[in-house]
Amino acid sequence: MLSNVIMICTGMIGLAMLFCLWRLIKGPDITDRILALDTLYINSIALIILLGLYYGTALYFEGALLIAMLGFVSTSAVAKYLLRGDIIE
């Protein structure tokens, strides 16, 4: 039962990622694309957690944790770049 749920969820997350890709390519603005990238980060957290559930291991948890933590850093850095150009000042 659970594996079926995981399968369906994985498919949905995959679909969401493809939609993100669509937004990333189409734009039209740079902010749309940055948001798309950030959403891709979040989706991949979900994907990795699902993978860990599927295999029944906690090994992948740190991967998800790192994406959650560092994905924020890169998104905020790009946002700061749009705002000020100079990200460390």
Partner 1 sequence: MNLIWVPLLPLLGCLVSLLLGRYPRSTMALGAAILPAIALGIVVSLAPEVMSGSNPVVTYDWVPALSLQISFMLDGLALMFTLLILGIGLLVILYARYYLSEADNAGRFYASLLLFMTAMLGVVLSANLIQLWFFWELTSVSSFMLISYWSHRSDARKGARMAMTITGAGGLALLAGLILIGEVVGSYDLRTVLASGSLIAEHSLYPVIVVLVLLGAFTKSAQFPFHSWLPQAMAAPTPVSSYLHSATMVKAGIFLMARFYPVLSDTHLWFALVSLVGLTTLLVGAYTALFKHDLKGLLAYSTISHLGLITLLLGLDTELASIAAMFHVINHAVFKASLFMAAGIIDHESGSRDMRKLNGLFRYMPYTATLAMVAASSMAGVPLLNGFLSKEMLFAESLHQETFGSLSWLIPLLVTVGGALAVAYSLRFVHDVFFNGEPIGLEKTPHEPPRYMRVPVEILVVLCLLVGVLPDLIVGDLLVAVGASLMPAGVPEFSISIWHGFNIPLLMSFLAVLGGVALYRQRRHMFNFQARFTEVDPKLAFEHMIQTLVERARSVQLWLDNGSFQRYALWLLLMAIAAMSVPMVNIPHARGSLEVTELDMVALGGALLMIVASVATAMLSHQRLLALVTISVVGLVVSVAFAWFSAPDLALTQLSVEVATIILFLLALYFLPQKVSLNHLSPGRIVRDMGIATAAGAIVGTLTYAMLTRPFDSISSFFTENAKTGGGGTNVVNVILVDFRGFDTFGEITVLAIASLGIYKLLAGVRLFVPAADMDGRPWSKDSHPLMLMQISQSLLPLALLVSAYIFLRGHNLPGGGFIAGLITAIALIQQYVANGVVWMRDRGDLKFQWFIVWGLFIAFASGVGSWLFERPFLTSWFDYFYLPLVGKFELASAMAFDLGVYLTVIGATLSILANLGKLTTTDRPTRPGRRS
CA-CA distances (angstroms) from residue 16 to 23, 42, 44, 48?
A: 11, 10, 10, 14
Q: Does residue 8 touch partner 1 according to CB under 8 A?
A: no
Residues sharing a CB contact under 8 Å with residue 11, sequence separation 6 or more, in sequence order:
none
Count Cα atoms within 13 angstroms, Cβ side, for 37.
Answer: 16
User: x/- contact string, 11-50, with partner 1 (CB under 8 A)?
Assistant: x--x--xx--x--xx----x--xx--x--xx--x--xx--
Which positions touch partner 1 (CB under 8 A)? 10-11, 14, 17-18, 21, 24-25, 30, 33-34, 37, 40-41, 44, 47-48, 51, 59-60, 62-63, 65-67, 69-74, 76-78, 80-89
